[in-house]
Amino acid sequence: MHIHREGYKIIIFTLLIISVLLSTLNHFVPEQHWIHYVIYLLVAGWLIWTIAFFRVPHRKPVKKDDNQVLSAADGTIVAIEEVDEHEYFKDRRIQISIFMSPFNVHVNWYPVAGEVSYTQYHPGKFLVAYHPKSSTENERNTVIVRTHDGQEVLMRQIAGVLARRIINYAVNGDKALPGKEFGIIRFGSRVDFFLPTDADIQVKMGQKVRAQQTIIASLKKK
């Protein structure tokens, strides 16, 4: 496990704020006052959470079949439904949504092998990430990977109430591999998948999933 590079500045900034806060506290409040212990506990929790948020676990993808779609994120399945996808496919697709709480790992990894065929950022609102309209109205970034047999898997990174920045590294033409990082969202967010309607879905509502470890669906071989 290591700390994501996007977290360095935030962790350092957090340490500076904590230093100023504790210096001010020690200047105005007598030593050994109960307020010291409360503040120490709160800032320690804040620092630990900030560092933990940017953790990047070292995992080996469990994928054994090129048609299997791995989870791109840690979190909870909050939607499995057939919907109209209007941005790219403009047809019916199965949408699978994964909600990431502020305590989940927020790095996103490619779920299939292939080539990045489309990326697009969309500014938008900051509704709670599990809201049904967040997929189309929130700030979001779409990434599509075309597999080696020509099928396309759409992933949509979606900002939430706390997630104020979507970071995407995917570029058209990039080689995608399961376990290769394509972005990170901070702080509390969601990732949607849009799959062919004949895909074999292998997760259920409310299920906890882990990036690179949970197979969410299998695509029909062409």
- The catalytic residues are 189
Determine contact, residues 185/106, Cβ cutoff 8 Å.
yes
CA distances from 143 to 26, 117, 119 (A): 49, 8, 5
Q: How far apart are CA 11 and CA 50, in angstroms?
A: 7
Q: Is the alpha carbon torsion for 91, 131, 4, 20 positive or negative?
A: positive
How far apart are alpha carbons 78 and 89 in whole angstroms?
22
C-alpha dihedral (8, 209, 172, 115), degrees to nearest 10: 130
**3-class state of residue 157 by DSSP:** strand
